[in-house]
Amino acid sequence: MRVPTIEELKLAYKSKITKSWDKYFSYYWSSTPAGQERYYYLYTYDGRGYPSTPINAKRSDVYGIRCIK
């Protein structure tokens, strides 16, 4: 199992797989780097990927995570 890339998360959104995820979190981490100590996350309300900011840059922030094979 691994953390999906931002492109894989976007595909999951387009396939409507993420619809059931909304009840848990609105943001899901990806494994795609967005600079030093920063990563992209998926916003499940619009299906877009956003780079984390210095405020939410750490992976320990409370965002959801979904693993894939």
For residue 53, what are the domain limits?
A: 1-69
Are the C-beta atoms of residues 1 and 66 closer than 8 Å to each other?
no
What pLDDT, in 10s, does the model give residues 5-63? 999 999 999 999 888 887 888 899 999 999 887 899 999 999 999 998 765 555 556 78
| Tokens describing residue 29 | 């981490």
Give the pLDDT of residue 60: 54
Are the C-beta atoms of residues 46 and 53 closer than 8 Å to each other?
no
Task: Look at the chain and report how many structural domains it folds into.
Answer: 1
